[in-house]
Amino acid sequence: MAVDASTSARGDLILKNLTKSYGDFNAVDDLSLVIPKGSFFALLGPSGCGKTTTLRMVAGLEEPTAGSIFVGETEITDMKPYRRPVNTVFQNYALFPHLSIFENIAFGLRRRGISDAEVKTAVDKVLNLVELPQLATRKPNQLSGGQQQRIAVARAIVNRPALLLLDEPLGALDLKLRRQMQIELKWIQTEIGITFVHVTHDQEEAMTMADTIAVMNKGKIEQMGTPEDLYDSPKTAFVANFLGQSNLIPGEVSGNDGNNLIVDLFGTKVAVPKARSSAHGSSVLVGVRPEKFRIAAEGKSTHGNVLTGGVVSDVSYIGVSTQYQVEMPWGKEVMVFEQNDDDEEMLRKGAKVVLSWEPLFTFALDGSENAAAGSH
Amino acid sequence: MAATKGISVKSFGLKDNRSALPYLLLAPGLIYLALFFVYPIIALGQMSTKTSSGEIGQYEQSFRFANYVDAFLGSKEQFSRSFIYATIATLLALAIAYPLAYAIAFKSGKWKNVLLVLIVAPFFTSFLLRTIAWKQILGEEGPVIKVLRGVHIISPQTSLTATSFAVVTGLAYNFLPFMTLPLYASLERIDPRTLEASGDLYANGFTTFRKVTLPLSMPGVVAGTLLTFIPAAGDYINAAILGSPSNKMLGNVIDARFFKIVDYPTAAALSFTLMAAILILVTVYIRKAGTEELV
């Protein structure tokens, strides 16, 4: 890949107060964001949250209602798509059905008037990178979904854009292939060092690949951070529920114990690390991930935070773990994932149980949050 | 093409001879064509080599293949005129229909169905009436000639009717829907994301049209030009109504031989020659279009 379209336009992607309205509806609502050069960035959110619209505005396929877009120092807000130092991997790939794989990949290079010899070198090199050199003379409809996906990536990265946009690129693949492509895309990104902006509704996909994830909801960014950050310390109920599952139990802060808040959950005191609380007042939602709970038959010894009086209301065995629904004394159910890594007998439906967990694994959200937001 | 091959192998192959269903489905069409196409063609072929038995309208089979040479030499002029008119009319129809089909396919929004109905609307009246109406439009009292004379594009002495201009534009008008509909069908099938991808890959609007839209619409261009060219080459109504004696096409000669002179063998020989010529031209054209030479 001897060619470089955009040396002058290298740099971070900066979105300033970006808004896209359709009538009264704001698909993207005053979004500001900096995506550092060279990062693998994921925009994650449910369908209709504005993530694809954001991507299309960066690509130049939608016109922003307000706000501006910069790549480094260069403003690209009103630039025609074909002038932007940006390439896109489209959902369903959008390969040119009438052109061979070679010509599909060469398309962008040829438009920029690059010599045949250089085109050949660059295309061969990128075909090797995606490990499909034998397909150069085929037509797109002779390729499998996974192969088309890789060619779509090759067609974009051969141009060495400052920025590669990926619009749900793995959505059409089956689960196994998707896992494999996640690893490959991540590898390609590391290999060529281009900024990847990846739009997806699949939280696992975002967490596997991205260095930084922005969780979007209703046209705004709910929270941005590393996958670990978002999973361990969600700041809103939407993020807590959209990334994995969470048990959110309402409580009142009743005291203070060094680094921990003491919270009263329906009469039981539990400890929550202060650093992991985003609550403003004394009313909080205490969050515990299902796999952080330990579950034991009533009467067994426990440690850490403890909740007693639960009754198993549903058991599903899924091999690697067993998932329990436990009805708590206050009438709500909580979800518990127990790894099948010991010879303890599975608890039956109706069994009386006690739940415990390490205070370290607790987070707290503000009590005004809607506990059901973002649930799957 | 690949898809059709796939179906024929799967459904009509030797391996799948248990089912009579494909043959049952084919039967009505085959019988109909055998009766009303194959039989007349054979009869026409037999007629084309007969000679007169003395009485008017009575012929005997004498296998006189020189009928073809005589017939062709006698109407070379109309023969070539048929192909020239049909070619120009086809190109004119393509030039008008492509932007039209493009606009309907990509830009018409909620008006799409209304516009498609309007494309077909001329078929609600007869071919003959439409051609007569076209004569009125181009005639001395019509709006076209007044405007053209008014802006001095043509002189007051020049007429539009009884000219090759009238015949060619009449042909283009009459077969315009046959051009527009296949074009629309192929343009409408293009995934708009491939056009976005082209823009994303540094192609401006014109390059996107040349490198993506046009090649992807070639099946429609080929179908549309064939559906226009073939009937236009054999047409005689436009030349009869809109043309002068010096604008006659081969169809007019065949018409006159059959119904006025009652010279069936010559008419039959001319019909066969026309059919063969169209078949050869179309075969060459499809071969070329199948490769990427036309783009």
The amino acid sitting at A74 is T
Residues B194, A81: C-beta atoms closer than 8 Å: no
Per cent of chain A over pLDDT 90 is 72
More confidently predicted of A239 and B261: A239
Taking the C-alpha atoms of residue B63 and residue B14, their distance in angstroms, rounded to an integer, is 40
d(CA A19, CA A17): 6
Identify whether residues A194 and A72 lie together within a single domain. Answer: yes
Q: Which residue has the tokens 């960066």?
A: A58
Q: Which helix (H) or strand (E) holds B51?
A: strand B50-52
Spatial contact of A141 and A155, defined as CB atoms under 8 Å apart: no
- Is A332 inside any structural domain? yes
Regarding whether A293 and A206 lie in a shared domain, the answer is no
B179 pLDDT tier (thresholds 50, 70, 90): very high
Residue linked to tokens 């026309």: B274
In whole angstroms, what is the distance from residue A78 CA to residue A83 CA? 10
Convert the pLDDT of each residue in A278-326 to its tens digit.
Answer: 888 889 999 999 999 999 988 888 889 999 999 999 999 988 899 999 9
Nearest CB to B201 within list A61, A92, A108: A108
Chain mean pLDDT for chain B: 88
* Paired residues of A215 in beta bridges: A44, A223
Choose from A62, A80, A82 for mutation: most chain B CBs within 10 A: A82
Give residue A285's pLDDT.
Answer: 95
Question: Chain B contacts of A59, Cβ < 8 Å?
Answer: 200
The residue range of the domain holding A347 is 258-366
Chain A residues with CB within 8 Å of chain B CB? 5, 59-61, 80-83, 86-88, 90-92, 94-98, 107-108, 111-112, 155-156, 159
Geometric angle at alpha carbon B117, from B111 and B122, rounded to 5°: 135
Please report whether residue B50 resides in a domain: no
We report the CATH number of the domain holding residue B179 as 1.10.3720.10
Inter-chain contacts counted by CB atoms under 8 A, chains A and B: 65
CB contact under 8 A, B199 and A82: yes
Single out the residue in A198, A232, A266 at which a domain terminates.
A232
For residues A188 and A317, state if they share a domain: no
How confident is the model at residue B290, as a pLDDT? 65
Q: Are residues A128 and A262 in the same domain?
A: no
Q: Are both A106 and A165 inside the same structural domain?
A: yes
pLDDT tens-digit profile of A17-70? 999 999 999 999 999 999 999 999 999 999 889 999 999 999 999 999 999 999
pLDDT for the residue numbered B172:
96
B187, B172, B168: which is closest to B116 by C-alpha? Answer: B187
Q: What CA–CA distance (Å, rounded) separates B84 from B167?
A: 11
Q: Would residue B203 count as lying in a domain?
A: yes
Pair (A227, A88) in one structural domain? yes
**Residues A281 and A316 reside in one and the same domain:** yes
Does any domain span residue A143? yes
In chain A, the DSSP E strands lie at: 13-22, 25-35, 40-44, 66-71, 74-75, 86-89, 163-167, 195-200, 212-217, 220-225, 247-257, 260-265, 268-273, 283-288, 294-297, 305-317, 321-327, 333-339, 352-357, 362-366
Q: Is the pLDDT confidence value at A271 over 50? A: yes
Chain A contacts of B293, Cβ < 8 Å? none
Place B295 in a pLDDT band, splitting at 50, 70 and 90.
very low
At a CB cut-off of 8 Å and minimum separation 6, what does A25 contact? none
Residues A52, A93 within the same domain: yes
Q: Considering CB atoms only, which of B193, B200, B202 is closest to A92?
A: B193
Q: What's chain A's average pLDDT?
A: 91
Report d(CA B180, CA A112) in Å as an integer. Answer: 34
Q: Are A285 and A366 a contacting pair, CB within 8 Å?
A: yes
Reading the block at residue A347, the tokens are 């608890």
Contacts of B198 in chain A (CB under 8 A): 96, 107
Q: For the residues of A125-180, what is the DSSP string, one character each?
A: HHHHHTT-GGGTTS-GGGS-HHHHHHHHHHHHHTT--SEEEEESTTTTS-HHHHHH
Determine, for residues B198 and A96 on separate chains, whether the beta-carbon distance falls below 8 Å: yes
The CA distance from B219 to the nearest CA of chain A, in Å, is 11
Residue B5: inside a domain, yes or no?
Answer: no
Of residues A87, A96, A156, nearest to B212 (C-beta) = A96
Q: How far from A13 is each of A21, A68, A198, B23, B268, CA to CA, in Å?
A: 22, 11, 13, 63, 75
Q: Is residue B58 part of a domain?
A: no
Q: In terms of Cα–Cα distance, which of B243, B232, B255 is closest to B75?
A: B255
Measure the CA dihedral B95/B97/B99/B104, to 10°.
180
B18 SS3 class: coil
A249 in a domain, yes or no?
no
Query: Which CATH number belongs to the domain containing residue A90 in this structure?
Result: 3.40.50.300
Please give the average per-residue pLDDT across A182-211, as a whole number.
91
Name the residue facing B194 among A59, A60, A94 (closest C-beta): A94
A67: left (phi over 0), alpha (psi -120 to 50) or beta: left
| Shared-domain flag, residues A275 and A224 | no
Domain contains A253: no
Residue A248 lies in a domain: no
Burial of A72 (0-12, 13-18, 19+ CB in 10 A): middle
Please name the helix (run of DSSP H) or strand (run of DSSP E) that holds residue B60, with its range, or none: strand B59-61
Closest chain B CA to residue A159: B201
Q: What is the pLDDT of residues B115-174, one digit of tens each?
A: 999 999 988 999 999 999 999 999 888 888 888 888 888 888 888 888 999 999 999 999
What pLDDT score was predicted for residue B205?
A: 93
Whether residue A345 has pLDDT greater than 80: no
Q: Which two tokens stand for residue A333?
A: 């159910």
What pLDDT is stored for residue B93 in this prediction? Answer: 97
CB-based contact A96 B200, cutoff 8 Å: no
Count of domains for chain B: 1
Asked whether residue A375 is assigned to any structural domain, the reply reads no
Within-domain flag for B167: yes
How close A221 comes to chain B (CA, Å)?
A: 26
Whole domain around residue B253: which residue ranges?
75-290
Q: Give me the pLDDT at residue A246, please.
A: 94
Nearest to A115 by CA among A2, A278, A28: A2
8 A C-beta contact, residue A321 and residue A339: yes
A181 lies in the same domain as A280 = no
CATH number, residue A359 = 2.40.50.140
Nearest Cα neighbor of B191 from B211, B212, B210 is B212
Which band of pLDDT confidence, cut at 50, 70 and 90, is reported for residue A347? confident
Is A239 contained in some domain? no
Q: Could B216 and A94 be called an inter-chain contact, meaning their C-beta atoms sit closer than 8 Å?
A: no
pLDDT confidence of residue B291: 53
Question: Taking Cα atoms as reference points, which of A167, A186, A211 lies closest to residue A47?
Answer: A167
pTM: 0.80
Total domains, chain A: 2
Q: Please report the pLDDT score of residue B17 as a whole number.
A: 58
Is B201 within 8 Å of A60 when comparing Cβ atoms?
Answer: no
What pLDDT is attached to residue A10?
53
Residues of A in contact with B200 (CB under 8 A): 59-61, 81-82, 86-88, 90, 156
Amino acid at B281: L
User: A202 and A321: one domain?
Assistant: no
User: In the structure, what pLDDT confidence band is assigned to residue B16 with cuts at 50, 70 and 90?
Assistant: low
Are residue A25 and residue A159 in the same domain, yes or no?
Answer: yes
